Structure 1
Amino acid sequence: MSRSPVRLGLRANLAQFSLLVAVNALVGGMVGQEQTVLPLLAEQEFRLTGYTFLLTYVLVFGLSKAATNYFAGTWSDRFGRKPVLIAGWLIAIPVPAMLILAPHWGWIVAANVLLGINQGLTWSTTVIMKVDLVGPRQRGLAMGLNEAAGYGAVAITSVLAGYLAEQYGLRPAPFLLGAAYIVLALALSTLLVRETREFASLEAAQFADGTGEAAPELTDRQVFTRTTLTDPALSSASQSGLVNNLNFGLSWGLFPLLFSGAGLPVNRVGLLVALYPAVWGAGQLVTGALSDRWGRKHLITAGMLTQAVALALIAVGNDFSAWAVATVLLGAGTAMVYPTLLAAIGDVAHPSWRARSVGVYRLWRDSGYAAGALLGGVVADLVDLRAAVWAAAALSLASGITVAVRMYETHPTRSTPPMP
């Protein structure tokens, strides 16, 4: 049976795009099973007292995910997108059992190393595949749908895990969700997902036709340097992504402790923890498409400044209502930033090296998990939990100002990037 000709665009590839959205929701769900439960498990079952030690699981998750993101981009170009996606799900298989059976905290840390590798391979690959499919015109919308699915699933699974923990205990019930996600994702990725490298090749050919010449081939080192330092838009996106995920990493480890320390029950802690990624996820359905119409730079700037305000409100809050408002605002600020950063990378990076640039960007962005764990743990141990939140607010403010000063507009119909 012959396959239909390769065409770029969301509508032309809706079935495959929708399948990848579903797979990415399962990727997000793997994180959601941990968010509410692990900080409470650390305190109640493993009797951990130091915040820095407690946050080791976020630290190793961030480091392993960040490093794997880089290789995911390179391997996707070398071996294809689909094999990398399947490998990511195979690596996740032991994770739920390790979380359920862990006799000491070292098992939890080891499980999160594997979870970080899983997230780096699967989430990076679904991003790259969606960018391959849609082409340049609806890149922001595509990234909004992708990230909405992933972080919407984080929120939903956080609530479900909190409910299961309240009803049946911290183990094993919440982590059975992850086991089910792995089985379903492996089936979808193996049987139904198709390779998308040929779509990137088509876009590269169209790019050359439109400009009269093909872009020069860049080495891995050149892509890394351009994305990290020398291109004002790519490097601004990388630092902003790092600070954004620093906030998420800090929230993952410390927010449940801050909220429970104020006397809130587990189910209300779970709800507060879920509000942030829920608004983040749903908001991206709007902000991703808006960035296609309004451009990228101003949404990113506004989003980082909104996060700074939200974190300040969390630092001064004392009850459920105040924290609910603040976490909703934090989610809204993150929604402005998250799909827009990925769309900006896609705008600037040529199709021939875009997967590698996405990998470098996600290397820096997901290093934020580790940075958030270190910053949150050290400041909380030296001062207190609220001081750690204030520190994140200050970094978010600085990041927003940096984007406003240094980044150029990347949307192809809004302005023309400067020559490298």
Structure 2
Amino acid sequence: MSTAAVPRLGLVANAGQFTLLVVVNALVGGVLGSERTVLPLLADREFGLAAYTAGLTYILAFGATKAVTNFFAGTLCDRYGRKPVLLAGWLVAIPIPVMLIWAPSWGWIIAANVLLGLNQGLAWSTTVIMKIDLAGPNRRGLAMGLNEAAGYLAVAATAMATGALAAQYGLRPAPFLLTAAYLVLGLGLSLFSVHETRGHARHEAATHTGGQNADLSTRQVAALTSWREPALSSASQAGMVNNLNDGLAWGLFPLLFAAAGLSLTQIGALAALYPAVWGLGQLATGPASDRYGRKPFIVAGMLLQAAALALIALADDFTAWAIAAVLLGAGTAAVYPTLLAAVSDVAHPAWRARAVGVYRLWRDGGFAVGALLAGIVADFAGIRAAVWVVAALTAASGLLAWTRMYETRPRP
């Protein structure tokens, strides 16, 4: 009998589809990674955007669009199924490399990043939801570790590759030809090889024994995830601050490194090091949270990120910044898959996709908040001052999770 007729939960039972979705999410991450080294330098060198706030508008556009799209992705996945939403995510991304290559003005870059936000919100959110569907309740930390590791290792590898391409061939068009290749491959795999997983969530919902009510409206789910339920709302605020400091890292770190005289290759290496440690670390932290609990990793990860940001603000050479990037990646690795697993622990399978969407709304809203906050502070007081402000916010977020969040890991 087919998997569609009798859904089976677990990583072993769904190994083929789960592995395919890991590959698809790596391609989604690669599309995002193609911008991390090149666009901050493009803003400075080709478009002459001297003000940091103006230069970070593309991250603001990306973060705001992705945040809102995450919310609707969860609802659409519940209503229409996972695969149609995944395909829509790839289709809206098709114009992105062309727009980045031929952009005659900064407005084109902003428009391309609106499409990138739609792509990431639809495609990345859906691969997360599909893996949660397949994994079942016992190995969610491992499942999210594998998912986020694939995505952010691809971000890292692509950031390094585009830095090397830009150093050899210029900022355009070579780095964005890699983006086009990712899009073609991701759309093809999603169209012809990925299967629908909504039936697995329905099967789990039919046998669910948790305390949460299954029959909730989207408004009720949003309220629970945003502020009413302590663990869900703690995850939402920690996720938002986590991506706030990632928005800072994406938009301002290359400019800080360039101002210190680092080469394009060195900047690309630093831009890749942080997400590389982030990606690899999740292979350990995700399954470890299945064994030891979610809360310790979330609190410790946020505090480690704050310490790493403080080191970046103090440092002024490649070696010190490389050490800080490793620490920042390790802290983010502790937090990222664990927050998703915690949301999945608490949410009922009947509305879990919507809860994940609301969580990701807050989390990726951090990109927009981070770009705006970091840009304003950097314009008034310099990049290092912006890093100090974000470091303080990150530490406060970790302390808030420590005091408000309870342990969510299901007991065997």
Partner of 2:35: 34
Q: Distance in 2 between matches of 1:221 and 1:48?
A: 41
Partner of 1:238: 236
Deviations for 1:154-196, whole angstroms, at most 9, x for unmatched residues?
0000000000000000000000011000000010000000000
Aligned ranges for residues 12-411 of structure 1 at < 5 Å? 12-207=13-208, 210=209, 215-411=213-409
Q: Distance in 2 between matches of 1:216 and 1:405?
A: 28
Q: Distance in 2 between matches of 1:123 and 1:326?
A: 27
Following TM superposition, by how much is the alpha carbon of 1:82 offset from its aligned partner in structure 2, in angstroms? 0.1
CA-atom RMSD in angstroms: 1.1
Unaligned 5+ segments in structure 2 are none
Unaligned 5+ segments in structure 1 are 415-420
Deviations for 1:185-229, whole angstroms, at most 9, x for unmatched residues?
01000000000000001111111xx46x98340001100000000
SS of equivalent to 2:207: helix
Do the aligned residues in 1 keep the contact of 2:214 with 2:351 (CA within 8 Å)? Answer: no
- Match of 1:15, as an amino acid? G
Q: Distance in 2 between matches of 1:413 and 1:276?
A: 33
Percentage of pairs with the same residue: 67
Partner of 1:417: none
Q: Distance in 2 between matches of 1:381 and 1:236?
A: 31
Q: Distance in 1 between matches of 2:245 and 2:17?
A: 32
Inter-CA distance 319–343: structure 2 relative to 1 (3 Å threshold): same
- Matched positions, count: 411
Do the aligned residues in 1 keep the contact of 2:239 with 2:363 (CA within 8 Å)? Answer: yes
State the 4+ residue runs in structure 1 displaced beyond 4 angstroms. 1-4
Do the aligned residues in 1 keep the contact of 2:214 with 2:348 (CA within 8 Å)? Answer: no
Q: Give TM-score scaled by structure 2 length.
A: 0.98
- Match of 1:88, as an amino acid? G
Q: Distance in 2 between matches of 1:72 and 1:277?
A: 25
- Match of 1:134, as an amino acid? A
- Match of 2:391, as an amino acid? A
Following TM superposition, by how much is the alpha carbon of 1:334 offset from its aligned partner in structure 2, in angstroms? 0.2
Q: Distance in 1 between matches of 2:272 and 2:247?
A: 14
Q: Distance in 2 between matches of 1:412 and 1:22?
A: 28
Q: Distance in 2 between matches of 1:374 and 1:239?
A: 17
